[in-house]
Structure 1
Amino acid sequence: MTAIDQYAVFGHPINHSKSPRIHGLFAEQTGQRLQYRAADVPAELFRSAVETFFADGGKGLNCTVPLKELAWQFADRLGDRALLAKAVNTLARQTDGRILGDNTDGVGLLNDLTINHRIPLRASRILVLGAGGATRGIVAPLLEQAPAQLVIANRTLEKAEAIADEFADLGELHACGYADLNSRFDVILNATSASLGGDLPPLADDILADGGCCYDLAYANQPTAFVNWGLRHGASLSLDGLGMLVEQAAEAFYLWRGVRPDTRPVIDLLNRERTLPPLRND
């Protein structure tokens, strides 16, 4: 009997992960025969765990917090998206045995924003909160959309400035501290994980433009603090990152299997399971 192809997600913590559920649904939908599991892997054990996984015949890995930069260092070769982000969330074993590192976060975010929710990014004023690995993964794809303005705000200004300098060749973007925000934005993206714990950056009440949208890259079974902030401040849409999670998973699934799953029924099912409103794209 042919062995079943093995895939996994490594992270720390990982108990909350919906990735095994998502990839199981993708496999069922597309008729692919595979197993996908979650494993709690702290940073200090990452290299040995990945080496063991691939030595045992594993085909592909997703890597989440706090392992994306370590995965970038581990890969034998890097896709263009990973080279720009300096972070890897997807590792794939190639036919020659080498390990490809890629980053599907940016395309996952764009697909959820522009296709699933029809949020226009071109010529929009976009604010990204935070200057960590999540921000690094989305800056280049956002700049490709030709926004009117892209600003990275962070508590530590130097970290935001470092990202702005690094990506300056791709388009115009600016860095500032939260206290220096003096514009109104059409789209505000929270790329920190702080709102899961109820914490929010100190944002002015009038920073969101009329009809603007809020999007939290984090997700939970209940609205995050940032999603609630958007609702209180009149956002036309205030969303969390579950759709991004499914979309980036679909891109990873395609890299591994050469088959692109339909994300909409998976997003709707997961939203029903957590009792939040399902995706509508009428």
Structure 2
Amino acid sequence: MDQYAVFGHPIKQSKSPFIHRLFAEQTQQQLEYGAIEPAEDGFVEAATAFFNNGGKGCNITMPFKLDAYHFATQLTERARMAGAVNTLKVLDDGGILGDNTDGAGLVADLLLNHVALEGKRVLMIGAGGAARGTLLPLLEQNVVMLQIVNRTTSKAQDLVDLFPNHQNIEATTFDALEAAEPFDVIINSTSASMSGELPPIPTSIINQYSSVYDMVYRQEPTVFINWAKQQGAAKGIDGLGMLVAQAAESFAVWRGIRPSMRQVLRELNKNLGRI
């Protein structure tokens, strides 16, 4: 039976095995999906052993996304632009394809939640790896403007500089946001919600038409989502759907069939006690 796995350290908290087993059942694909926890400096050795033993593909989570980027023998454009890999696949010639499905997962979840992107003004909070992996897929949705704000403005500008052919992406500062018009979509790519903190964005950039998205998810709505809704935001969405959607994209890369997200989201929400 075809073997797949997720690599991470730690890995016991990962929901990927549960998600992909449901995907396999739903699509009637014969495969097994496990979890592998290499030492923090042991990714290359563990991944080599996995593929030498017949592994067909794997997901990569922290802290190995950069290791996987260098491990791959071929990269997709979205992996190159992300500078990180979360999906590996054996190619017919024996090479290893590195892909990044995080941005596609974010876009898919936004669209699933009826958040329009084409022609919209989008604000990305944070300029770390989580943000970088989503920029190309967002730009491909023909947003009218994608602004990146970060405590260190130079980091936001570094991300903008990756897209010299795009005129609709720019860096900004938290101070400059004070005079900005409300955004259609505001995405928090930072981990601030994990510690109950809020990014320092002004309330004036949110109105009754704004949709906010927090890449973090918890059992309860995150502090960022609660705050944005108090400011009148139309929608507040957390990152659970992005987790499922990036997994569905990985599954499609491996198996050539795209599973439905809805059933898996229902099961995860049940497990989290949210329904």
State the partner residue of 1:163. 159
Aligned to 2:81: 84
Q: Write the deviation string for residues 148-175 of structure 1: whole angstroms up to 9, x where unpaired.
A: 2211111111111100111231342111
CA displacement 1:231-273 (0-9 Å, x = unmatched): 2222211011111111111111111112221111111221222
Q: What is the one-letter code of the residue matched to 1:204? A: P
2:100 is aligned with 1:99 = no
**2:187 paired residue among 156, 165, 189:** 189
SS at match of 1:15: coil
Work out the CA distance in 2 between the residues paired with 1:233 and 1:40: 42
Cα separation, 2, equivalents of 1:211 and 1:266: 29
Q: Residues 27-46 of structure 1, C-alpha deviation per residue, up to 9 Å, x if partnerless? A: 11111121212233454222
Whether contact under 8 Å (1:11, 1:42) holds in the other structure is: no
Q: Deviations over 1:19-76 (max 9, x none)?
A: 1110010011111121212233454222122112112221111112222222111100
- Cα deviation, residue 230, structure 1: 2.1
- Root-mean-square deviation over aligned CA pairs: 1.6
Give the % identical residues.
Answer: 49
Aligned residue type for 2:107: L
Distance, in Å, in 1 between the alignment partners of 2:173 and 2:46 is 38
Three-state SS of the structure 2 residue aligned to 1:101 is strand
Query: Could you tell me which residue of structure 2 aligns to residue 200 of structure 1?
Result: 198
Residue ranges of structure 2 left out of the alignment (5+ in a row): none
* 1:134-145 map, 5 Å: 134-145=130-141
State TM-score, norm by structure 1: 0.91
The letter for the 1-side match of 2:251 is F
Q: Distance in 1 between matches of 2:166 and 2:62?
A: 26
Output the amino acid matched with 2:262: R
1:280 matched to which residue of 2? none
2:213 is equivalent to residue 215 of structure 1: yes
Confirm whether residue 252 of structure 1 aligns to residue 250 of structure 2.
Answer: yes
**Map of 2:117 onto structure 1:** 121
Using the alignment, how far apart are the partners of 1:43 and 1:235 within structure 2?
Answer: 41
Tell me whether 1:275 sits opposite 2:268 in the alignment: no
Residue 211 of structure 1 aligns with an amino acid whose one-letter code is Y
**Segment of structure 1 superposing worse, 157-166 or 36-45:** 36-45
1:42–1:164 CA distance, 2 compared to 1 (3 A)? farther
Q: Is residue 127–residue 150 contact of structure 1 (8 Å, CA) maintained in 2?
A: yes
Write the letter of the residue equivalent to 2:158. Answer: A
Report whether the alignment pairs 1:172 with 2:176: no
Please report how far the alpha carbon of residue 90 of structure 1 lies from its aligned counterpart in structure 2 after TM superposition: 0.3
User: Which secondary structure state, in structure 1, belongs to the residue aligned with residue 186 of structure 2?
Assistant: strand
Amino acid at match of 2:73: D
Q: Output the TM-score relative to the length of structure 2.
A: 0.93
CA distance 1:274–1:138, change in 2 (3 Å): same
Q: Distance in 2 between matches of 1:163 and 1:145?
A: 18
**Aligned-partner residue type, residue 171 of structure 2:** A
Q: Structure 1 residues 122-131 or 176-185, which shifts more?
A: 176-185
Aligned position for 1:226: 224
Q: Which amino acid aligns with 2:218?
A: A
Task: Give the SS at the match of 1:175.
Answer: strand
Q: Which amino acid aligns with 1:99?
A: I
Poorly superposed stretches of 4+, deviation over 6 Å: none
- Offset of residue 91 of structure 1: 0.3
